[in-house]
Amino acid sequence: MTLRFSRLTMLLAGSALLCTTLSAQARELSVSTVLSDAFPWGQAAEKWAELVEERSGGELTLRVYPNAQLVSGDQTREFSAMRSGLIDLAVGSTINWSPQVPELNLFSLPFFMRDYAAVDSVTGGEAGKQVFAAIEEGGVVPLAWGENGFRQLSNSKGPIDEPSDLEGLKIRVVGSPLFQDTFEALGANPTQMSWADAKPALTTGAVDGQENPLSVFDVARIDQVGQTNLTLWNYMNDPLVFAANQRVWGSLSAEDQDLLRQAAVDAGEWEIAMTREEEGERRAAITERGVDIVELTEAQHMAFVQATQSVYDTWIDKIGESLVKTARSDMAAN
């Protein structure tokens, strides 16, 4: 009886030790993202978490914190918070991170990348490698690309198909000096404010318009706050970046690093494809809700390009002339 009890005790102790060891091996990392999984951006983060848990057998898990929760809603602080270690991982916007990494303004140069082929040429080319190197020099490890999409222009006043239509319009823009310069060059009155403040301002007419990707316009139902005119002008693109804090990245085994990076690449490719495939459906849904959509002709597009040419003179040096030239070469080669 005593022998059986001793064996049972040893068995239970061994099981407890095994559970403790497995628990010690399991690790949870935080992931910051600005939008929830109602949007492709948030879905990219959730897909990353899903792939990591599946491929690691649950030994490595990612907990997604949407709506910039980890930085109290201030999305412009996300990169700094990740660099300092307050955030382990993020799926972040090139716009939001550009104050800390000036090279990311490459994607915000007005009318620089006309279509998705141009974007893919840059992110997948030599310029993309240089941008990733700049992010890493800034204290964060970039892993893969995602996509928030081309930003389109909406307003409550009327159709916009030439620069003069923007004269005097109050347009809500994100907190980036490059956006300020772009809309001032077009004769508009750009107003920087958070998205939390933007919807009430659009509702009351305190601002006349805003710019966002088609997915955001659709999911957030921006047409419900008086935005009944939408111009598809692809004036800039906002790639997303899957990234990690350097200390956290360095604490992972080589195997876990490979797993985390490949899961990010796969999640990014999945999200990019999904975002682009859904654009036709979103456009149809927006039209059905009574929004008038303008798509620029070649001549109209060139009028906007010429009107914003002065912005290049201001920003090429800040971004890096060599990087801009490399991006042009990447696009020309493809």
Q: pLDDT confidence of 7, banded at 50, 70, 90? A: low
Cα dihedral 40, 42, 43, 48 sign: positive
Mean pLDDT for 220-239 is 97
User: What are the domain boundaries of the chain?
Assistant: 28-315+322-333
Q: pLDDT confidence of 129, banded at 50, 70, 90? A: very high
Residues whose CB is less than 8 angstroms from the CB of residue 250 and which lie 6 or more positions away in sequence, other chains included: none
Could you tell me which residues are beta bridge partners of residue 209?
155, 171
Angle of helix 279-288 versus helix 254-277 axis, rounded to 10: 40
Residue 194 has pLDDT above 50, yes or no: yes
Instruction: Give the pLDDT of residue 110.
Output: 97
Considering the entire predicted model, what is its pTM?
A: 0.91
Phi-psi region of 61 (alpha: psi -120 to 50; beta: other; left: phi over 0): beta
Residue found by looking up tokens 């993202």 in the block = 33
Structure tokens, 233: 């002008």
Topology of domain 28-315+322-333, CATH: D-Maltodextrin-Binding Protein; domain 2 (3.40.190)
Residue found by looking up tokens 């659009």 in the block = 202
Could you tell me which residues are beta bridge partners of residue 91?
242
pLDDT digits (tens, 9 = 90+) for 25-39: 689 999 999 999 999
Mean pLDDT for 224-232 is 97
Residue found by looking up tokens 């956290």 in the block = 248
